[in-house]
Amino acid sequence: MRLSYSSISTYETCPAKYRFQYEERLPTAHSPALSFGDSLHRALRRFHDRPVPVAPSLGELHDILQSVWVSEGYRDPSEERVYFDHATQVLADYHAANADGFRIPAALEHRFAVEIEGVQVNGVIDRMDRIPGGGYEIIDYKTSRRLPPKAVVDRDLQLSMYYLAAREVWGVEPERLTLYYLLPGERMTTFRTTADADDLRRRIGVVAERIAAGKFEPRLNPLCDWCEFQPLCPLFRHKYDREQGDPAPRMSAVVDEWIALKREDWERYRRLEELKALINAFCEEHGYRRLFGSDGSAIDRRPQHVTAPDADRVRAILEPLDLWERVLTVDPKKVSDLIESRQLPPDIEDALLASREEVRTQHALYLKDAARSRR
């Protein structure tokens, strides 16, 4: 099995997308964003690939961009011109920030292949620099417009893989791992440890085991709206089937009725909560425990004390009596959440599923209402 940062990230985001893209190798369309990013990466490689520690001039850099520009994916020449002009400005900002301190990189677009948990992991490191005074820094270019939170960079999968590859390929432990966000012109730097490398090995091992076991469940995620495989995905296929000619109009009517009733339930619940607050406030003010309706029905207001036992104190009381084991329980919801996280090796997942007293699958229905989410 061969994996890469992109394929591992894709699997962890959505196993079904991994199957469509890497197992079935379904074609995908080139996009302006991909061509734009590819062009900038090519230009920066040429910018840094110098035999002497002198940066090319800004004019030379713009000529490089022209020579390596990727024209695929744009809707028309006017859209391509907008992206090209933007790339020209991005490189001008990069040149202003980096030309004076130009140094020959220790490595540039280095392709690597390392074996991790029996899996060949491939990748390309954009750049590795020597740090003045000793040590190394790995740099990866990004074309995102927004900077992520620092915590996201600290656990970034790609940087972790580069750290591990540098140790395996060159026998060096990078002191700095940097994501260089070209559009805002900002660098975000982090580091990794031996423990992080061990965690990555386990993480890759779990992904490889799940792929080998054929675990390709669809997973709803924030990138679904941009996924090209929606017409094939069980989470979205019905929408496309309806658009091409409803295969089951009667069932569509059932679905529409269920959605309408569910919305009515939401409205009733919202109104019940509003009335509940008014009733509680009125009873508090007047000291009522019960309110009567016009037909003689009544609303009882009863206090409910929500408490939770202190586990340490309960254990201290019951353990001397050999009763502690009798109150230990497993939270079924937490076990289900752990299974559904798809972060377990398949044999562990299967063992947990088999450990249930009743092995059955039941499905709850929830309404994902686009109109409600926009409120």
- Alpha-carbon dihedral of residues 356, 360, 364, 365, nearest 10 degrees? 150
Q: Which two tokens stand for residue 194?
A: 């031996």
DSSP symbol at 140: E
Q: Is 60 exceeded by the pLDDT of residue 359?
A: no
Contact 6, 48 (CB under 8 A): no
Contact 5, 157 (CB under 8 A): yes
Q: What is the helix, strand, coil percentage profile of the chain, to 5?
A: 50, 15, 35
Once rounded to an integer, what is the mean pLDDT over residues 162-176? Answer: 91
Answer positive or negative: Cα dihedral of 224, 226, 227, 231: positive
Q: Is 60 exceeded by the pLDDT of residue 338?
A: yes
- Between 357 and 221, the more confident residue is 221
| Rounded percentage of the chain residues whose pLDDT exceeds 90 | 72
How confident is the model at residue 362, as a pLDDT?
65
Answer positive or negative: Cα dihedral of 17, 18, 23, 29: positive
Residue of 58, 140, 137, 53 lying closest to 103 (CA atoms):
53
Q: Which two tokens stand for residue 125?
A: 């490191």
- Between 132 and 265, the more confident residue is 265
Once rounded to an integer, what is the mean pLDDT over residues 137-146? Answer: 94
Once rounded to an integer, what is the mean pLDDT over residues 270-280? Answer: 94
**Of the listed ranges 145-154, 315-324, 327-336, the one predicted with least confidence:** 327-336
Q: Which two tokens stand for residue 69?
A: 């520009």
> pLDDT grade, residue 348 (50/70/90)?
confident
Q: Is 80 exceeded by the pLDDT of residue 218?
A: yes
Q: Is 70 exceeded by the pLDDT of residue 375?
A: no
How confident is the model at residue 137, as a pLDDT?
96
| pLDDT tens digits, one per residue of 286-328 | 999 999 999 999 999 888 777 778 888 888 888 888 888 887 8
pTM comes to 0.82
How confident is the model at residue 357, as a pLDDT?
65
Q: Is 73 left (phi over 0), alpha (psi -120 to 50) or beta?
A: left
Once rounded to an integer, what is the mean pLDDT over residues 10-39? Answer: 94
Tell me the domain boundaries of the chain.
249-304, 310-375
- Bridge partners, 141 (sequence order): 180
- Between 325 and 83, the more confident residue is 83
How confident is the model at residue 344, as a pLDDT?
83
Question: Residue 257: enclosing H or E segment and its boundaries?
Answer: helix 249-286
Q: Is 80 exceeded by the pLDDT of residue 66?
A: yes
How confident is the model at residue 325, as a pLDDT?
83
Q: Is 80 exceeded by the pLDDT of residue 193?
A: yes
335 vs 352: CA distance, rounded Å: 8
Q: Is 80 exceeded by the pLDDT of residue 372?
A: no
Q: Is 80 exceeded by the pLDDT of residue 185?
A: yes
Q: Is 80 exceeded by the pLDDT of residue 373?
A: no
Mean pLDDT in the chain? 90
